[in-house]
Amino acid sequence: MTSPAQSASPSRPERPSDVLRRPKPGPLFRVVKVVSWIELVLFGILLVVWLAPGMEHETFYAGMAHGIGFIALALLIWVAVLRREAPYTLLAATLTPVGPVGSLIAIEVIERKYGEPA
C-alpha cells in the first residue's frame, strides 16, 4: 500500500497511461525552432561557399560550423523529445538527409497539429 505522499510524487506518473501521454510543445520547443532556423542559415552559407570557385578555406569553416550546429540541433531535439516537448517525428525528420530543412518542415507540421506553442 502506498502512502498519499508517495502517490503524489511529481517524478512518478500517477497512472500508467501518463507514461504514454502525447508530447506538447513547451518552452524548449521555441528554442528548437530558433536553432533550426540558425542551422538552416549555416547550411545555406555552406552551399554558397561550396559552389563558389576558389573558396576552399571558407568551405571548410562553413562546413565545420554546419556540422557542429547540426549535432547541437540533433541533441537539443533529443532532449526536447525526452522532456515530451516534441514528438519523435521531429527527431526523425531532422536526421533525414535534408537535415535542418526536415526539422523546419516537421516543426511547421507540429505547430499546425498542436497549435502555436505557449
Q: Are 48 and 66 in contact (CB under 8 A)?
A: no
Domains identified in the chain, total number:
1
Residues of the chain with confidence (pLDDT) below 70 = 1-21, 116-118
Task: State residue 22's pLDDT score.
Answer: 73
Q: How far apart are CA 42 and CA 81, in angstroms?
A: 24
Tell me the C-alpha distance between 111 and 117, whole Å: 7
> CB within 8 A of 93, min separation 6: which ones?
102, 103, 105, 106
Structural domain that includes position 76: 25-114
104 part of a folded domain: yes
**Has residue 16 been placed in a domain?**
no
Is residue 70, in this structure, part of any structural domain at all?
Answer: yes
**Residues with Cβ < 8 Å from 36, sequence gap 6 or more?**
73, 94, 100, 103, 104, 107
How many CB atoms are located within 10 Å of the residue 31 CB? 14
For 59-75, how does the pLDDT look when each residue is reduced to its tens digit (9 = 90+)? 999 999 999 999 999 99
